[in-house]
Amino acid sequence: MHPVMCGKLEKRLNMKRRRREEEENEIEKKRQGSSNMSSHAPGTSPSTGSCTSTNNTGQTSLRAATCTRTNNTASFTSLYTMGAQLGEGGCGLVYAGTRRADGKQVAIKYVTTNFSKKLLKIPGESQPLPLEVALMEIVCRPPACSHVIQLLDWFEEADRIVLVLELPSPCLDVSKFTKQLGGYMEESLARFVLRQVLRATMHCQDRGVLHRDIKSQNLLIQTDDLHVKLIDFGCGDLLKEAPYTHFAGTRPFQPPEWVMDGEYHGRPATVWSLGVLLFAMVCGSRPFKGEQDIIAADLYFKEGLSNECKNLIRWCLQRDPAKRPVLEQILHHEWMTR
């Protein structure tokens, strides 16, 4: 992008960011006063009420509590129309779609059963659900988080699962958005984005869910107001205290303890991925090229980066997971509160 155009875009985004920051500060105040969700079992919350129903045709439909319920015996194609392909991941394809009842624009994600064999029984459900569906139901139950994409509906077909998701508009994933800015973000914008990602991550972990694939491609940013949403729970699992012995996620984001020992704990591994994300946003590239780089954990920063920002990145990317901060410490780090 031409420097003049980039400067104008940055100025416009800063104005939007300041407006959004005022709203986010109010949300944070409310969050601080809310009850700790981690005291509830996975899939439960202070709010009651199930969001699922099973139809009579063997096709399962899940709807958010705030959505208008339609005929549960209807098929997917009678409820939604499908549009252009939006993206493709390791677990399936995503298309634009429209809800016939009211014209609402949605995202439709197809996941083959090869990637969704694991089932999870959660409170409030009579039958086990496909893992990705169960995790999304847990994090989407009221009170929901505006920084986590919402599951509106789902269907189980013979060889695949169909997820109907909220579709923010206009939006880009953070990777594409950053490219439009010239390849990296100014610190103020990166801080604003990371703050929202932290809130999404904290919400998920408060609900007992580990995302396991936090990266710029799994973050949508609305280009009109810079609101960020975490997407794609296809690599997720329930959060547990015991170590994980299977890596699910993106290889450049794998923590050194996995590379060296073949296991990792969910919380410090998440912090590592946030450090990689922050580095990429402010420096324009990922910090490590391969496993040896990950183990060495040597960092080479872009010129002009503030000491506070470099300090936070180094803290998140400590080779020893016990020395990394927890999410609350990141949120209150001096760079985050500037």
Active site residue 213: yes
- 13 annotated binding-site participant: no
Which of 102, 159, 206, 213 does the annotation list as catalytic?
Answer: 213
- 208 annotated binding-site participant: no
The reply to whether domains 3-34+170-331 and 48-166 share a CATH topology is: no
pLDDT value, residue 52:
30
- 6 annotated binding-site participant: no
Structure tokens, 27: 């949300």
Is 48-166 in CATH node 3.40.50.1370? no
- 86 annotated binding-site participant: yes
| Contact yes or no for 312/333 (Cβ under 8 A) | yes
**Strands (DSSP E) found in the chain:** 52-54, 60-62, 80-88, 92-99, 105-112, 119-120, 129-130, 151-156, 160-166, 171-173, 209-210, 219-222, 228-230, 237-238
Sole residue written with tokens 């995302």: 211
| Contact yes or no for 202/336 (Cβ under 8 A) | no
Query: What CATH number belongs to 3-34+170-331?
Result: 1.10.510.10
pTM of the model: 0.82
Query: Can you give the residue ranges of every domain in the chain?
Result: 3-34+170-331, 48-166
Sign of CA dihedral 43, 278, 7, 177: negative
In angstroms, the CA 47 to CA 241 distance is 25
For the stretch 191-247, pLDDT in tens is 999 999 999 999 999 999 999 999 999 999 999 999 999 999 999 999 999 999 999
* 299-311 average pLDDT score: 98
* pLDDT over 70, % of the chain: 77
